[in-house]
Amino acid sequence: MTEELIKEVKHIQQCLINVEMEGEAYEEKMEIVHKLEEVATYLKDALGQDINF
């Protein structure tokens, strides 16, 4: 299940990256992308520790 969540987070990141934005909207988008990367990293760490969600 955790692996599926990681794949979904990565898919959402890619969808956001593909959207053309400028200025403040671009900055907000990139902040969201970085936060999603933190979520993916957390999930990968949890997967390695055999934590069940």
Task: Indicate the pTM of the whole model.
Answer: 0.77
Better-predicted residue by pLDDT, 38 or 50: 38
Confidence of residue 53 (pLDDT cuts 50, 70, 90): very low
Higher local confidence (pLDDT), 36 or 1: 36
Q: What are the C-alpha distances in Å from 49 to residues 3, 10, 32, 41, 45?
A: 13, 20, 26, 13, 6
pLDDT, one tens digit per residue, over 5-45 is: 999 999 999 999 999 999 999 999 999 999 999 999 998 88
Residue carrying structure tokens 């979520």: 39
Helices (H), 1-53: 2-18, 23-48
Res 22: pLDDT:
93
